[in-house]
Chain A
Amino acid sequence: MDELDLDSAMLSRMLTSLTLGFHIIFATLGVGVPLLISLAEFIGIKRNDPYYTLLARRWTRGFVVTVAVGVVTGTAIGLQLSLLWPNFMQLAGQVISLPLFLETFAFFFEAIFLGIYLYTWDRFKKPIYHWIISIPVIIGSTLSAVFISTVNAFMNAPQGFTMVGGVLTDIEPLVAMFNPATPTKVGHVVMSAYLTSAMVLAAITAFSMLKGKRSIYYKKALKLTMTAGFIFAIGTAVIGDFSGKFLAEYQPEKLAAAEWHFETTENADLVVGGFLDRETEEVKYGLVLPNFLSILAHGNPNSEVMGLDQVPEDEIPPLFIHYLFDGMVGIGMFLAALTFFYMIALRLKRFNVENKWLLRLIVLAGPLSVLAIEFGWIFSEVGRQPWILWDILRTGHAATTSDSVGLMFILFLLLYIVLGTLCVTVLRKMFKSNPAENELEEIARTK
């Protein structure tokens, strides 16, 4: 396996994965949490319910800390693109710099209004004016996710240029931006960010409830986050299905590798989990769902699905992505089932939605949803190998030639360990030293 060679290209991949893997947690929350804050504030104003307003305020306080880490790690990945992949940026930058540029605008817009939102809670006569400020924050954060996802979509389905002898001509930036991968990529990234944010907030709430905090404040928080989570889970599942069909059409080798589908066949079966015997290309102990791969790929059980037999040996992505794909889909289904069950239970008078086991599952759903985001990104990136720009530029040819990447990897690893640890410590301290109960008492007094 040449992939274990620690040359500068491999080290560049490791450092990029490290930064992205860390950044994506905060970026995901940065896209989704403003929407939930805005929802809570809006409900609070409409129903004149101080509990929801308090919810919005407390979420915001925690959010600022995660945003800060998101901003600085986003700056890091922005610069690392040029530092680690200079050849890629020099080439692809000619075509795809437009959405990268637009992303900074969206981010700029978000940063301005987030600053305003944070410090104007009591500055307007009508609370609804403050709520209005949350709209540009949501637009800015979601749009920056949209723009940056189009860049990643372009890496998977490059178009909008002609390549003649290493030189790009006939460049059309908008065609490049709106490539075939864009709709599913953008939809999936944004929707799963909303879902993950809802689940993380639900998990925090459920955690507090398990610790014996059962006031109405927590019940309302759980209801809001789980209801939102249910809607986003359905959305994520639907878009995820479209993503599968996109792969079948445009990146069939990625789908084939993810599904360990070796021979091109009709009525293709889907294998969940299992172990692969690389010699015989047989899967052991996997759960076989007949015809399901054909349905996933083309929506028709009889359709033909391309197998890895059609792919040149040196263009087959690493096959471990099978587990990442299954992990991501499995967690997605778990989240959909869990939120669905909660919605049903909410309507059943006999069932206690604050059941200990249900709460425990919700606590588990928080970290699992973050894990699904990680699986999804690693699957998407590793599944594109050996290409950095699909079918155009190989990853190994795009990396820096510098000898210092390994040392930088260690430095950044240390940085992220420190930032991650401090972020968690600061958040815990922040909410411990000022528990919701204190502020709830105040609400009760003024009522």
Chain B
Amino acid sequence: MDIQLVGITVLWVFLYGYLITASIDFGAGFFAYYGELTGREHIINKIISRYLSPVWEVTNVFFVFFFVGLVGFFPDTAYYYGTALLVPGSIAIILIAIRGSFYAFGNYGAKKSRVYTFLYGVTGLLIPASLSTALTLSEGGFIEEVNGEVVFLAGELFSSFYSWSVVLLAIVSVLFISAAFLTYYASRANDEPALELLRKYALFWSAPTILSSILVFVALQQHNPTHFERTLDYAWFFIASLLSFLIATYLIFNKKRYGTAFLFVMLQFFFAFFGYGISHLPWILYDYITIYSGYTNETTGVYLVIAFIAGLCLLVPSLILLMRLFLFDAEYVKGNKSQ
């Protein structure tokens, strides 16, 4: 395996980690706000806050890790994406900043405020929408280099059917992943009313994830036929994703094994995400950067991989400890152990 491939795989794994953990977080924010609007906050908000409080910072780091690693392995991305994404990137930063700090202000601060919950809920949908456009851009056609200057064609992006289909998929997926996880968490906590409500949310958002995925395929065929052709070469990824989805939904629908169900939701997105990623290769930015052309020098690449392996040896046990304390400790999940 080329070192370039190792690099992009590492980064993709972390982006997948962010996709799952951040979706749970983003969706939870929306459900918390929706719960407050419909007067049901007392049912689900405890469950949400018990899970989120210890882990929100970790979620954020997955993202930082991804973009620092991307620029490290592939410095050319800094040049192209950096120049093109100043405005959308800044808006995403501001949304993330508002979300993270307002969560802390509201949760650790003296008193809950409606404004905090509102912002927390709304940013939960806006952030995935804005971040997903980075993936859209990578398909090409929205960034152009003219006479040595990188230009972002914002108009093209906003009028693109493909772009909007990705945004739709991002939002719907966030809600589905989050609801599926929180259903599992509520079942661990033996919290019947919360479980019932969250299970309904999960089922409600299940079919839309598949429908919007199909929509993305259709749009991709129009936008970047080459990439679409390549996805067909890796069709088994997407079939595996669909099967995982069916199993997960079956389990949730039949009120069985919510933990396994969530595992299959993770697999559903794992296969789809990696199928998308593999078929996208070798391009990082279509027509401009491939993982080979944009690669840093060999020495730095090797050091980064070594650093990554060493870091992983440190992180994996720590993450397991974190999960054992807050995810798999039934007493904590039930709220019998708090501060």
Chain A residues packing against B (C-beta within 8 Å): 61, 64-65, 67-69, 71-76, 78-87, 89-91, 93-95, 97-98, 100-105, 107-109, 111-116, 118-123, 136, 168, 171-174, 400-402, 404-405, 407-408, 411-412, 415, 419, 422-423, 426, 429-430, 432-434
Contact = CB atoms under 8 A, between A and B. Distances in A.
18 contacts: A68-B105, A71-B60, A75-B93, A85-B82, A90-B79, A93-B296, A94-B296, A104-B69, A105-B315, A111-B60, A112-B318, A112-B321, A113-B318, A116-B325, A173-B299, A400-B83, A412-B94, A429-B109
Given A98-B72, A103-B68, A411-B94, 9 more contacts: A69-B101, A80-B93, A81-B78, A82-B78, A90-B75, A97-B72, A101-B69, A108-B65, A422-B101
Nearest to B109: A426
B153 to A, nearest CB: 14
Contacts of B108: 61, 64-65, 68, 430
Nearest to A136: B318
Q: Give the interface centre of B104, B150, B318, B332 by most chain A CB atoms within 10 Å.
A: B104
A74 B71 CA distance: 16
Interface stretch (B49-57, B178-186, B263-271): B49-57
A118 B79 contact: no
A115 B104 contact: no
B100 to A, nearest CB: 4
Given A65-B105, A67-B57, A412-B90, A75 B63 contact: yes
A86 B152 CA distance: 14
Interface residues of B, number: 70
Contacts of B85: 83
B67 A115 contact: no
B93 A79 contact: yes
A204 B55 CA distance: 29
B87 interface: yes
Contact of B100 (A71, A107, A112): A71
A64 B110 CA distance: 13
A159 B182 CA distance: 50
Interface in B92-108: 93-94, 96-105, 108
A173 B303 contact: yes
A93 B71 contact: yes
Interface of B: 53-55, 57-58, 60-61, 63-65, 67-69, 71-73, 75-83, 85-87, 89-91, 93-94, 96-105, 108-111, 149-150, 296-297, 299-300, 303-304, 307-308, 311, 314-315, 318-319, 321-322, 325-326, 332, 337-339
A129 to B, nearest CB: 12
Nearest to B298: A171
A102 B65 CA distance: 9
Q: Give the interface centre of B54, B55, B80 by most chain A CB atoms within 10 Å.
A: B54
A423 B110 CA distance: 12
Contacts of A112: 58, 315, 318-319, 321-322
Contacts of B63: 75
A402 B110 contact: no
B242 to A, nearest CB: 33
A79 B68 CA distance: 8
B300 A94 contact: yes
A89 B101 contact: no
A347 to B, nearest CB: 38
Contacts of B55: 115
Contacts of A90: 75-76, 78-79, 82
Contact of A402 (B57, B86, B94): B86
Q: Give the interface centre of B82, B299, B314 by most chain A CB atoms within 10 Å.
A: B82
Q: Give the interface centre of A114, A136, A173 by most chain B CB atoms within 10 Å.
A: A173
Given A67-B57, A101-B307, A102-B307, A72 B101 contact: yes
A76 B68 contact: no
Contact of B96 (A75, A83, A408, A411): A75
A137 to B, nearest CB: 11
B86 A408 contact: yes
Contact of B101 (A102, A123, A405, A423): A423
Given A102-B311, A112-B319, A72 B97 contact: yes
A111 B315 CA distance: 11
B89 A83 contact: yes
B15 to A, nearest CB: 14
Contact of B75 (A97, A121, A415): A97
Q: What 7 A-B pairs have minimum CB-CB distances, sorted nearest first? A: A68-B104, A97-B72, A86-B82, A89-B78, A93-B75, A115-B54, A105-B311
Contact of A111 (B61, B90, B101, B307): B61
Contacts of A95: 300
Contacts of B308: 101
Given A97-B296, A119-B339, A83 B111 contact: no
A84 B77 CA distance: 13
B93 A76 contact: yes
Given A100-B72, A101-B307, A108-B58, A433 B300 contact: no
A415 B94 contact: yes
A438 B296 CA distance: 58
Contacts of A72: 60, 96-97, 99-101
A231 to B, nearest CB: 29
B29 to A, nearest CB: 15
Given A109-B315, A122-B339, A101 B304 contact: yes
Contacts of A121: 339
Nearest to A85: B82
B314 A89 contact: no
A225 B180 CA distance: 47
Nearest to B63: A75
A427 B195 CA distance: 35
A68 B103 contact: yes
Contact of B86 (A81, A91, A116, A404): A404
A89 B318 contact: no
Nearest to B50: A119
A118 B54 contact: yes
A104 B61 CA distance: 7
A434 B81 CA distance: 47
A75 B101 contact: no
A275 to B, nearest CB: 40
Contacts of B325: 116, 119-120, 123
Contact of A97 (B58, B71, B101, B105): B71
